[in-house]
Amino acid sequence: MSGESWKEIPIGGVIEKAGNSKEYKTGSWRSNRPIHVPDKCIHCMICWIVCPDCAVKAKDGNFSHFDYDYCKGCGNCAARCPKDAIVMKTELEAQKEDEK
């Protein structure tokens, strides 16, 4: 949206693109990162329903992945997982492991 002049702003402040908040990535807010442990996961999708940020992605009714572009690292998915299949790591720790 940046770079538009006021003349191009829709009348009434209407936002014409539904769901365009996706252009704003909130993943940088995160200081803790959820890590999925596939061996333990029973694909109950509890993490999916509790995530406030739609950052648990499902595929065909199963856990697929975390969307780290938006995950704010709140930890509710890990707190509610019945199988301890989500481990919270500090972002620093996780980034160090990424580099390895």
Residues that bind ligand SF4 (CB under 6 A): 34, 36, 41-47, 50-51, 53, 55-56, 63, 66, 71-77, 81, 83, 85-86
C-alpha dihedral, 70 to 71 to 76 to 77, nearest 10°: 100
Q: Which two tokens stand for residue 93?
A: 């720790």
Find tokens 């509890």 and name the residue. Answer: 46
Calculate the CA 16 to chain-centre distance. 24
Q: Which two tokens stand for residue 20?
A: 């365009």
List residues binding other proteins (CB under 8 A).
1, 9, 13, 15, 17-26, 29-30, 43-46, 48-55, 58, 60-62, 67, 69-70, 72-76, 78-80, 88
Minimum gap (Å) between residue 75 Cβ and other proteins: 3
Query: By C-beta, is 62 or 95 nearer to other proteins?
Result: 62
Distance, in Å, from the CA atom of 98 to the CA atom of 100, rounded to the nearest integer, reads 6
Minimum gap (Å) between residue 38 Cβ and ligand SF4: 8
